[in-house]
């Protein structure tokens, strides 16, 4: 096998569903095009750069990178190796050379829908969100959610909390404490977007008995009594789709995936699989109806959700 | 209980510290062991007590050969040792110290302090010695600590008591009371092994004396069959060096003036003390260690903050000056602790020799240090002070204690400052080195330097000083001119109020 | 001869046997193919197309050796400064802010950035020294605890006021191209390594041949001796820390101008540069000329371990474990300064 | 915010969760400190304890086995410390730094080789300690929510602090530990090997730190995360230094840190940047250190 696809993760993959999906997507693409797939896990800024350099050095034909952490690295390295194709998932760079491709998501569209559901479900008129780190990208989760909740229910107050600490993307202990704190402060619906910390929030949901939403994949089976729904981000599809384009010889490929392109979704938007999802939303017809209506508005363009990442 | 050491040899690396030594201890007998520093006395006793395993040799009790795995075995068979250095826990109470390592315990391992207290009371009644068991060691005087050490041994019911230089830190009076206790033990049938440097004590109390030199046993004789002079010759393996001569000379102007100086000590304030030192004289400060000497010296040198009074050197006040400035003004300092304060053991001899001079023209060229100058300076010191060492680049830790001390003395005296402060300058070094250092100090005095000598060795103070100050409990208790200095009178002052030893 | 052999060689052999044995056990646990793992290691550390991996190792070694030099300067003076991380972060931050916001020609921006980084890192270290000298906070703990405010200050500044919003990360804007450290032509290695090479030479000269170096060394070997001999102890402490922190700051600047071209939250902390620097110094017992070698050695272990992970699926943490094991086995042999003995010391000056 | 917050049961509930790991580890550190072992590898000890707790709980199916495994792991670290520091005469700080790195590397390495995951390991097979409801305690205001419903490890930690006080004062080993720290030659002279005593100190310290790790991984949550100790070991080290190993003071300091730590979580709700609240425990530690050092210095200088 002379063809090699390398997936470089920005952090250790661990229980991070998003990063895992990147890996499965790359592997699926490799299988389809008869290439070997390798994964280089990074753990910090220096090793990200070293891993991408290593991937070039190992002769990868396509390097898939998940996350905006790779912008500088690609900007710096890609022009020198025109035969290596770079695919950045989640982010794009300016002034791209021909061999740099992007697949980005409009997460805020899905989190807006979660906010709508939360706005309907709250009895205390207070909803919470716990996210990993106060960084612009994660505001797509927190602010999209807040916007949806407020649009649905103007009386609602949104309590935004950050995990922080030494390893914000994988710290269930702190995530749990933040969720408990938010719950204690009155939130009865809490959305978690903390990657590795999500399970901490679920434990808090059990202890403090609040409703919860999650991100990226269906996590409802973890706690069918408290999990209402979650966003779905089809990273694997996006990668497969992008690789197809690259293999077809496209230059500067750019995919932007939202509700309309079925790149983002939330559990309950489709009937398919809803019954088996174990999510509470399946038994909330009014919420389902409202969410689907708002989704339709976003898809047909009559409602635009502002991208919070570039706000402020 | 008859105890026999036979054919014991101990080696430390290539050094044979003890060479085929045999000793015998009988009940009701005080057996003195004498010898120079480093002769191997402590090492022999450590073998007897199970602290060191000999390369060759056996220990037998009542004819039966013993194998000590550790001191616990020796203790179990009735041996007890009072070590050369205190083995006490300062922060603990007397009682805790006494039971430590032989604790009477309940099932769960908790110490039965009441049982221990009762036993202690019994001992106090039997031998007539005692210390308040609830007091902390830190609050005890040196004599009381010595008594705690002895109580530890008695508590363990020892039949053979090993005492390694028990009188080194005692005044003549205290030593006398200790001997009375020892006589009581002898009367009750215990054996006693007594290590000491003081031949008068040997003649006074011992029944038998063994002399060691360079690891070998020179002789063992009943006290009646030998004399002080013979023992002394045995110790040094030749005749004693000629005694020191010190011509009287007129003193000059005041070099160091101390006026009401106070410094913070352990628990309480040291001072106020006032005295001065003039050109051409040695002023000796006598006193048992822990009576404020260290604090006063440190305050003068600039290592310790003063809390009152003042001192001046050649008329300049020392207030606000750091150590470097004081030394630059004309002060040199021979510290008591050569291992930590006097030298950097891991550094080269030349680096130790040049310390304090590295800023001068001779040793520095802009930012750079002149290594060659350092080496040749060290070589000069080695020659003129007869220091035995491989060379200027040898590691300082490779030197013996006496030679380390000579290096410090040479470094400090060669500065030629008007004032020299020397603290226990011959502590723990052998006779040859002591003699050399004493002569150097006197040479400096004769050349018109002012010397402040602090020593816990009363004989040293007596031998060198033109004037003697006695420190007791952080105050100057008295002053003597050399001519009227009297051992007993000074000893009295050194302990004016401490009378803890009650002899039954 | 015989004794020498027993005393010197045998322990060395047994230490190597132990370390090798532990390595084998770790690989066994990971179920790895030994030969593959070793060749992956060697390739990852020294090989690659056009020696690309060797250059990666050198690039990593640049930062590690820099931190090791910083640590060495303070350790030799008897100052257990383990706050290199904070000094590094503060330095990097200063460099990035100057690099991004200062107008002017590229070389001037870079030079100013480096100077600012050295000043900032140095002052951060001096802060720990001041706390020890004038408040009595042991340097070991004081310097360590100052890592956290440095880290979070950096995190806050690049996450809020100085953030490059468009980049999506908590990081500053890019330093303009003209102020980047140039690369060696045809490679991806930047010229930061020259700074560190120069620093290594200067450090050896400082330690062995200058008056302040001699004084600091004496203070490190025997602090009470230094004080009683009239050395300016406080000045030695502050001066040594200033130098130590300044070198750490320089390393931060090199990471910014050479490697990352901006300051990203966590980029100087997560790779454990500071801790690796510490163990690199401990490995060689603070002997100045050996420190760069030891730093390179540890850099090679890290990049080699990453290579091992890529080819043989042995987790790269094996590198971290091996570093620790090596230090443990040489810990008993490290001579020079006993660190533990001095850590709690307070200065009783007036 | 003041009084409402203090009376908020959820807040009070969280304080013991934060203080327990620090308290347990600091007590372990206190034993070492008193025995003259300068152990600043508490961070590594805790980390290994946390990992072993999950290992034991997962494979043996009970949180008690988890606690046992955690103690075993901690003791293992203690023995390593003893081997390299006492027997091979390594400098304690060097050994500590190496063991901290060793723990960080080893736990991740084993996480990846044993469980095949990285970052975090979570499984419903990991059984954890849950809160104990004590009927009488429950109804007392303030103290009730503060003390009731915590994991058994919290109650054990408080008990251990009190017991340790008695241990040092009256127990044979306690007495010998103190002697080993103060004048080990005194012990040798009495026939007790000080290194043996210090070995015991390290064993006890390992066990306590192991439990500290267990509190993190199978009581606060039920999973293991890389670098889970996250600086708590260093805070424990500071607590030991501040108190010079006095158990009751350690308890006091741990309560203080637990309080500040959980406070920092609550305060985020008031809109402060996350970095400010994150740095609070460390700043509090630093300030406590400065104040106490200055006070101590003024007393003894
Ligand atoms: N642990 C050791 N390692 C190496 N050498 C030692 C050790 N202990 C003692 N020595 C050396 O062995 C020799 C005998 O020492 P020892 O302590 O027995 O002498 P001593 O007769 O008791 O002297 P002093 O009168 O000074 O107490 C000395 O040269 C000493 O330096
Ligand atoms: N533990 C040891 N290991 C090796 N050598 C030692 C040891 N202790 C002492 N020595 C050696 O024994 C000699 C005397 O050491 P000691 O500790 O008795 O010093 P001192 O009391 O200052 O000097 P001295 O007894 O010679 O006057 C020195 O040469 C020293 O190197
Ligand atoms: Mg001696
Ligand atoms: Mg002796």
pLDDT in tens, B283-308: 999 987 778 888 999 999 999 989 99
**C-beta separation of C53 from C45 below 8 A:** yes
Q: What is the pLDDT of residue C5?
A: 52
Alpha helices (runs of H) in chain C, residue ranges in sequence order: 2-4, 10-29, 34-46, 52-76, 84-101, 106-130, 139-145, 147-159, 192-209, 211-221, 223-228, 233-254, 273-283, 291-312, 317-331, 339-343
Residue C81 three-state SS = coil
- pLDDT (tens digit per residue) in D212-264: 999 999 998 888 988 888 888 999 998 998 888 999 999 999 998 888 888 88
- Strands D120-122 and B475-481 come out as unpaired
* Minimum CA distance residue for ligand 2 atom 19: B401
Ligand closest to the CA atom of residue B338:
2
Q: Which residue has the tokens 């140039």?
A: C182
Cβ contact B358–C215 (<8 Å): yes
**C-beta separation of B235 from B219 below 8 A:** no
Ligand closest to the CA atom of residue B83:
4
- pLDDT (tens digit per residue) in C283-306: 888 899 999 999 999 999 999 999
Average pLDDT estimate for C336-341: 45
Residues B145 and B93 in one domain: yes
**C-beta separation of B403 from B432 below 8 A:** no
Share of chain B above pLDDT 90, in %: 48
Residues B24 and B63 in one domain: yes
Under the banding of pLDDT at 50, 70 and 90, the label for residue C6 is: low
Domain span holding position B52: 3-236
Domain boundary among B236, B263, B288: B236
**CA-CA distance, B138 to B61, in Å (whole number)?**
37
Q: Is the pLDDT of residue A166 over 80?
A: no
Best probe of the D interface among B71, B106, B304, B307, by most D CBs < 10 A, is B71
- pLDDT (tens digit per residue) in A71-91: 889 999 999 999 999 999 988
Residue A9 three-state SS = strand
- pLDDT (tens digit per residue) in D142-170: 777 778 778 999 999 999 999 999 999 99
Q: Is the pLDDT of residue C336 over 70?
A: no
Under the banding of pLDDT at 50, 70 and 90, the label for residue A69 is: confident
Domain presence at residue B247: no
Q: What is the pLDDT of residue B241?
A: 63
Q: How far is CA C59 from CA A50, A310, C40, in A?
A: 10, 34, 19
Residues B380 and B287 in one domain: no
Domain presence at residue B248: no
Contact flag for B and A (3+ C-beta pairs < 8 Å): no
Any residues with CB less than 8 A from the CB of A238 and at least 6 apart, and which? A25, A89, A103, A105, A255, A257, A263
* Minimum CA distance residue for ligand 1 atom 11: B17
Identity of the residue in D91, D113, D289 whose CB atom sits nearest the CB atom of C141: D289
Residues B106 and B136 in one domain: yes
* Minimum CA distance residue for ligand 1 atom 7: B12
- pLDDT (tens digit per residue) in C101-132: 999 999 999 999 999 999 999 999 999 999 99
Q: What is the pLDDT of residue D105?
A: 94
Under the banding of pLDDT at 50, 70 and 90, the label for residue A144 is: very high
| Best residue among B11, B12, B341 to mutate for probing ligand 2, ranked by most atoms within 8 Å of CB | B12
- pLDDT (tens digit per residue) in C195-240: 999 999 999 999 999 999 999 999 999 999 999 999 999 999 999 9
- Residue-by-residue DSSP string for C265-278: TTTTTTT-HHHHHH
Domain presence at residue B432: yes
| Best residue among B10, B11, B12 to mutate for probing ligand 1, ranked by most atoms within 8 Å of CB | B12
Average predicted confidence (pLDDT) for chain C: 89
- pLDDT (tens digit per residue) in B475-499: 898 899 888 888 778 877 876 654 3
Residues B177 and B78 in one domain: yes
| Best residue among B19, B21, B34, B39 to mutate for probing ligand 1, ranked by most atoms within 8 Å of CB | B39
Q: What is the pLDDT of residue D4?
A: 62
Structure ipTM: 0.86
**CA-CA distance, A101 to A290, in Å (whole number)?**
36
Total structural domains within chain B: 3
Identity of the residue in A53, A54, A69 whose CB atom sits nearest the CB atom of C169: A69
Which ligand 1 atom sits closest to the C-alpha of B215? 14
Q: Is the pLDDT of residue B440 over 60?
A: yes
Better-scored residue on pLDDT, D136 or C190: C190
Best probe of the D interface among C29, C128, C331, by most D CBs < 10 A, is C331
Cβ contact D221–A200 (<8 Å): yes
* CB neighbour class for A87 (10 Å; exposed up to 12, middle 13-18, buried from 19): buried
Q: Is the pLDDT of residue B409 over 80?
A: yes
* Minimum CA distance residue for ligand 1 atom 30: B38
Q: Is the pLDDT of residue B37 over 80?
A: no
B347 contact residues in C (CB cutoff 8 A): 217-218, 221-222
- pLDDT (tens digit per residue) in A39-54: 998 888 889 999 999 9
**C-beta separation of C137 from D289 below 8 A:** yes
Ligand closest to the CA atom of residue B17:
1
Domain presence at residue B78: yes
C272 contact residues in D (CB cutoff 8 A): 101
Which ligand 2 atom sits closest to the C-alpha of B399? 29
Q: What is the pLDDT of residue B193?
A: 94
Q: What is the pLDDT of residue B374?
A: 95
Average pLDDT estimate for A96-101: 92
- Strands A126-131 and A189-193 come out as parallel
Domain presence at residue B366: yes
- pLDDT (tens digit per residue) in C21-50: 999 999 888 888 889 999 999 999 998 888
Share of chain B above pLDDT 70, in %: 96
Q: How far is CA C94 from CA C116, C119, C143, C264, in A?
A: 6, 9, 19, 13
Better-scored residue on pLDDT, C260 or A67: C260
Q: Is the pLDDT of residue C346 over 70?
A: no
CATH at B122: 3.40.50.300
Average pLDDT estimate for A180-207: 90
* The CA-based dihedral angle spanning residues A132, A136, A141, A146, taken in that order and rounded to the nearest 10 degrees: 110
* CB neighbour class for B63 (10 Å; exposed up to 12, middle 13-18, buried from 19): exposed
Average pLDDT estimate for B120-132: 84
From ligand 4's centre to the CA of B164, what distance in Å? 7
- Chain D residue with minimal CA distance to B50? D191
Q: Is the pLDDT of residue C341 over 50?
A: no
- pLDDT (tens digit per residue) in C127-165: 999 999 999 899 998 999 999 999 999 999 998 899 888
C161 contact residues in D (CB cutoff 8 A): none
Domain presence at residue B245: no
Which ligand 1 atom sits closest to the C-alpha of B35? 21
Q: Which residues in A30-138 belong to E strands, given as ranges?
A: 36-41, 62-66, 85-89, 100-105, 126-131
Domain presence at residue B310: yes
Q: Is the pLDDT of residue A182 over 70?
A: yes
Q: What is the pLDDT of residue A312?
A: 45
B88 contact residues in D (CB cutoff 8 A): 183, 186
Q: What is the pLDDT of residue B498?
A: 43
| CATH code, C34-334 | 1.10.3470.10
What domains appear along chain D, each with residue ranges and CATH number? Answer: 3-300 (1.10.3470)
Better-scored residue on pLDDT, C8 or A228: A228
Under the banding of pLDDT at 50, 70 and 90, the label for residue B504 is: very low
Q: What is the pLDDT of residue A79?
A: 92
Q: Is the pLDDT of residue C335 over 60?
A: no
Cβ contact C29–D113 (<8 Å): yes
Better-scored residue on pLDDT, D135 or D3: D135
Q: What is the pLDDT of residue C3?
A: 47
Q: Could you give phi then psi for residue B400, rounded to 5 degrees?
A: -75, 165
- pLDDT (tens digit per residue) in D58-114: 999 999 999 999 999 999 999 999 999 998 888 898 899 999 999 999 999 999 899
Distance from CA of D156 to the nearest CA of A (A): 21
Query: Packing angle between helix B172-187 and helix B113-127, nearest 10 degrees?
Result: 90
**CA-CA distance, D148 to D134, in Å (whole number)?**
6
**CA-CA distance, D255 to B198, in Å (whole number)?**
59
Average pLDDT estimate for C158-174: 87
Which ligand 2 atom sits closest to the C-alpha of B402? 27
Q: Touching check for B370 and chain D: CB below 8 Å?
A: no
- pLDDT (tens digit per residue) in C253-265: 999 999 999 999 9
pTM for this model (two decimals): 0.88
Residues B337 and B370 in one domain: no
Picking from A2-11, B244-253, B311-320, which range would have the lowest pLDDT averaged per residue? B244-253
Average predicted confidence (pLDDT) for chain B: 88
Identity of the residue in D221, D225, D269 whose CB atom sits nearest the CB atom of A170: D225
Q: What is the pLDDT of residue C64?
A: 97
Q: What is the pLDDT of residue B242?
A: 66
Residue B388 three-state SS = coil
Average pLDDT estimate for A257-272: 90
Residues B369 and B405 in one domain: no
């Amino acid at each position: 096998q002379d063809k090699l696809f390398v997936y470089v993760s920005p952090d250790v993959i661990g229980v991070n569903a998003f990063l895992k999906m990147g890996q499965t997507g790359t592997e699926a693409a490799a299988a389809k095009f008869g290439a070997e797939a390798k994964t280089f896990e990074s753990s910090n800024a220096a090793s990200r750069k070293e891993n991408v350099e290593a991937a070039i050095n190992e002769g990868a034909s396509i390097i898939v990178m998940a996350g905006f952490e790779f912008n500088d690295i690609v900007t710096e390295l890609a022009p020198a190796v025109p035969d290596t194709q770079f695919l950045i998932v989640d982010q794009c760079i300016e002034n791209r050379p021909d061999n740099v491709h992007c697949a980005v998501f409009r997460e805020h569209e899905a989190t807006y829908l979660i906010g709508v559901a939360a706005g309907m479900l709250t009895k205390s008129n207070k909803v919470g969100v716990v996210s990993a780190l106060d960084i612009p990208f994660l505001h797509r989760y927190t602010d999209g959610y807040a916007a949806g909740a407020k649009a649905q229910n103007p009386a609602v107050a949104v309590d935004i909390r950050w995990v922080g600490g030494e390893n914000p993307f994988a710290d269930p202990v702190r995530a749990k404490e933040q969720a408990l704190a938010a719950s204690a402060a009155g939130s009865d619906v809490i959305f978690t977007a903390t990657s590795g910390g999500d399970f901490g929030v679920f434990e808090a949901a059990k202890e403090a008995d609040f409703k919860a939403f999650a991100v990226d994949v269906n996590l409802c089976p973890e706690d069918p009594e408290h999990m209402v729904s979650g966003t779905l981000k089809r990273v694997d599809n996006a990668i497969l789709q992008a690789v197809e384009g690259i293999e077809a010889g496209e230059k500067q490929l750019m995919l932007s995936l939202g509700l309309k392109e079925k790149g983002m979704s939330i559990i309950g938007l489709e009937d398919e699989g809803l019954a088996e999802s174990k999510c509470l939303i399946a038994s909330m017809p009014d919420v389902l109806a409202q969410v689907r209506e708002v989704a339709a508005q976003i898809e047909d363009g009559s409602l635009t959700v502002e991208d919070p990442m570039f706000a402020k | 209980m008859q105890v026999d050491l036979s054919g014991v040899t101990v080696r430390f690396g290539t050094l044979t510290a003890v060479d085929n030594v045999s000793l015998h201890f009988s009940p009701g007998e005080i057996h003195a062991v004498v010898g120079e520093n480093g002769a191997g006395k402590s090492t022999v006793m450590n073998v007897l007590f199970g602290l060191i395993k000999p390369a060759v040799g056996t220990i037998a009790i009542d004819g039966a050969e013993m194998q000590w795995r550790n001191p616990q075995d020796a203790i179990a068979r009735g041996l007890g040792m009072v070590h050369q250095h205190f083995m006490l826990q300062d922060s603990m109470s007397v009682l805790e110290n006494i039971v430590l390592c032989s604790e009477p315990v309940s099932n769960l391992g908790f110490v039965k302090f009441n049982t221990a207290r009762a036993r202690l009371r019994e001992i106090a009644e039997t031998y007539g010695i005692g210390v308040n068991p609830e007091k902390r060691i830190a609050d005890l005087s040196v004599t009381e600590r010595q008594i705690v050490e002895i109580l530890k041994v008695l508590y363990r019911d020892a039949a053979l008591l090993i005492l390694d230089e028990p009188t080194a830190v005692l005044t003549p009076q205290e030593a006398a009371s200790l001997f009375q206790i020892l006589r009581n033990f002898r009367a009750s049938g215990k054996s006693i092994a007594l290590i000491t440097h003081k031949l008068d004590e040997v003649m006074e109390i011992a029944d038998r004396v063994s002399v060691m030199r360079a690891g070998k046993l020179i002789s063992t004789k009943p006290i009646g069959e030998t004399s002080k002079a013979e023992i002394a010759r045995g110790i040094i393996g030749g005749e004693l060096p000629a005694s020191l001569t010190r011509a009287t000379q007129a003193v000059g102007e005041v070099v160091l003036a101390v006026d009401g100086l106070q410094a913070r000590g352990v628990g309480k304030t040291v001072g106020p003390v006032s005295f001065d030192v003039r050109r051409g004289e040695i002023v000796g400060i006598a006193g048992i260690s822990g009576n404020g000497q260290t604090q006063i010296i440190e305050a003068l040198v600039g290592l310790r903050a003063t809390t009152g009074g003042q001192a001046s050197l050649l008329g300049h006040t020392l207030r606000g000056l750091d150590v470097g400035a004081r030394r630059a003004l004309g002060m040199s300092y021979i510290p008591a602790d050569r291992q930590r304060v006097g030298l950097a053991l891991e550094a080269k001899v030349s680096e130790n020799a040049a310390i304090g001079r590295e800023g001068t023209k001779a040793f520095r060229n802009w930012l750079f240090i002149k290594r060659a100058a350092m080496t040749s300076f060290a070589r000069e010191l080695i020659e003129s002070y007869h220091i035995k060492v491989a060379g200027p680049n040898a590691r300082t830790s490779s030197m013996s204690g006496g030679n380390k001390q000579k290096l410090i003395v040479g470094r400090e005296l060669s500065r030629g400052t008007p004032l020299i402060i020397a603290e226990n300058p011959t502590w723990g070094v052998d006779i040859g080195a002591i003699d050399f250092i004493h002569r150097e100090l006197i040479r400096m005095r004769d050349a018109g330097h002012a010397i402040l000598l602090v020593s816990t060795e009363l004989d040293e103070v007596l031998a060198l000083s033109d004037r003697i100050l006695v420190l007791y409990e952080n105050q100057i208790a008295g002053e003597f001119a050399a001519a009227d200095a009297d051992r007993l009178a000074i000893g009295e002052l050194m302990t004016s109020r401490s009378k803890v030893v009650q002899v039954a | 001869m015989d004794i020498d052999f027993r005393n010197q060689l045998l322990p060395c052999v047994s230490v190597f046997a132990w370390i090798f044995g532990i390595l084998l056990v770790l690989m066994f646990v990971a179920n790895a193919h030994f030969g593959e793992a070793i060749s992956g290691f060697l390739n990852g550390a020294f090989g690659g197309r056009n020696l690309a991996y060797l250059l990666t190792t050198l690039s990593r070694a640049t930062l590690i050796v820099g931190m090791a030099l910083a640590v060495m300067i303070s350790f030799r003076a008897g100052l257990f400064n383990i706050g290199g991380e904070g000094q590094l972060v503060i330095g990097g931050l200063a460099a990035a802010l100057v690099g991004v916001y200062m107008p002017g020609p590229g070389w001037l921006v870079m030079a100013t950035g480096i100077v600012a980084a050295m000043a900032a890192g140095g002052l951060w270290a001096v802060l720990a020294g001041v706390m020890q000298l004038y408040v009595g906070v042991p340097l070991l703990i004081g310097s360590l605890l100052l890592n956290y405010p440095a880290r979070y200050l950096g995190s806050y500044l690049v996450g809020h006021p100085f953030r490059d919003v468009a980049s999506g990360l908590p990081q500053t804007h890019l330093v303009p191209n003209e102020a980047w450290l140039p690369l060696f032509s045809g490679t991806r290695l930047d010229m930061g390594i020259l700074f560190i090479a120069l620093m290594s030479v200067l450090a050896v000269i400082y330690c062995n041949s200058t008056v302040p170096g001699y004084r600091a060394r004496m203070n490190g070997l025997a602090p009470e001796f230094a004080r009683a001999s009239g050395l300016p102890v406080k000045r030695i402490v502050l001066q040594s820390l200033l130098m130590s922190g300044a070198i750490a700051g320089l390393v931060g600047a090199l990471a910014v101008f050479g490697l990352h071209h901006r300051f990203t939250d966590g980029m100087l902390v997560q790779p454990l540069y500071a801790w690796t620097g510490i163990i690199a110094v401990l490995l060689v017992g603070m002997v100045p000329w050996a420190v760069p070698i030891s730093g390179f050695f540890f850099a090679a272990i890290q990049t080699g371990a990453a290579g091992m992970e890529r080819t043989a699926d042995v987790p790269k943490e094996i590198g971290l474990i091996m570093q620790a094991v090596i230090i443990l086995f040489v810990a008993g042999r490290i001579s020079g300064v006993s660190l533990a003995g001095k850590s709690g010391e307070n200065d009783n000056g007036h | 915010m003041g009084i409402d917050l203090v009376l908020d049961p959820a807040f009070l509930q969280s304080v013991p969760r934060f203080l327990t790991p620090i308290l347990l580890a600091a007590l372990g550190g206190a034993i070492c400190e008193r025995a003259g072992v300068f152990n600043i590898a508490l961070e590594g000890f805790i980390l290994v304890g946390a990992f072993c707790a999950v290992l034991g709980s997962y494979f043996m199916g009970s949180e008690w086995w988890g606690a046992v495994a955690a103690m075993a792991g901690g003791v293992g670290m203690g023995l390593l410390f003893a081997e390299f520091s006492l027997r091979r005469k390594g400098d304690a700080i060097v050994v500590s730094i190496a063991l901290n790195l060793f723990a960080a590397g080893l736990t991740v390495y084993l996480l990846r080789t044993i469980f095949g995951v990285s970052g975090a390991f979570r499984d419903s097979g990991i059984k954890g300690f849950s809160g104990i409801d004590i009927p009488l305690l429950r109804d007392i205001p303030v103290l009730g929510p503060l003390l009731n419903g915590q994991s058994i490890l919290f109650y054990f930690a408080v008990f251990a602090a009190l017991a340790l006080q008695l241990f040092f004062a009256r127990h044979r080993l306690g007495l010998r530990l103190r002697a080993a720290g103060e004048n080990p030659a005194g012990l040798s002279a009495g026939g007790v090997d000080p290194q043996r005593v210090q070995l015991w100190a390290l064993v006890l310290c390992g066990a306590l730190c192991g439990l500290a790790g267990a509190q993190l991984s199978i009581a606060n949550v039920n999973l293991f995360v890389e670098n889970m100790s996250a600086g708590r070991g260093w805070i424990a080290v500071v607590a030991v230094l501040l108190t010079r190993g006095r158990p009751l003071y350690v308890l006091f300091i741990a309560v203080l840190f637990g309080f500040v730590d959980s406070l920092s979580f609550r305060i985020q709700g008031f809109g402060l940047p996350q970095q400010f609240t994150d740095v609070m425990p460390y700043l509090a530690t630093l300030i406590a250190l400065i104040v106490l050092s200055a006070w101590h210095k003024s007393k003894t200088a």
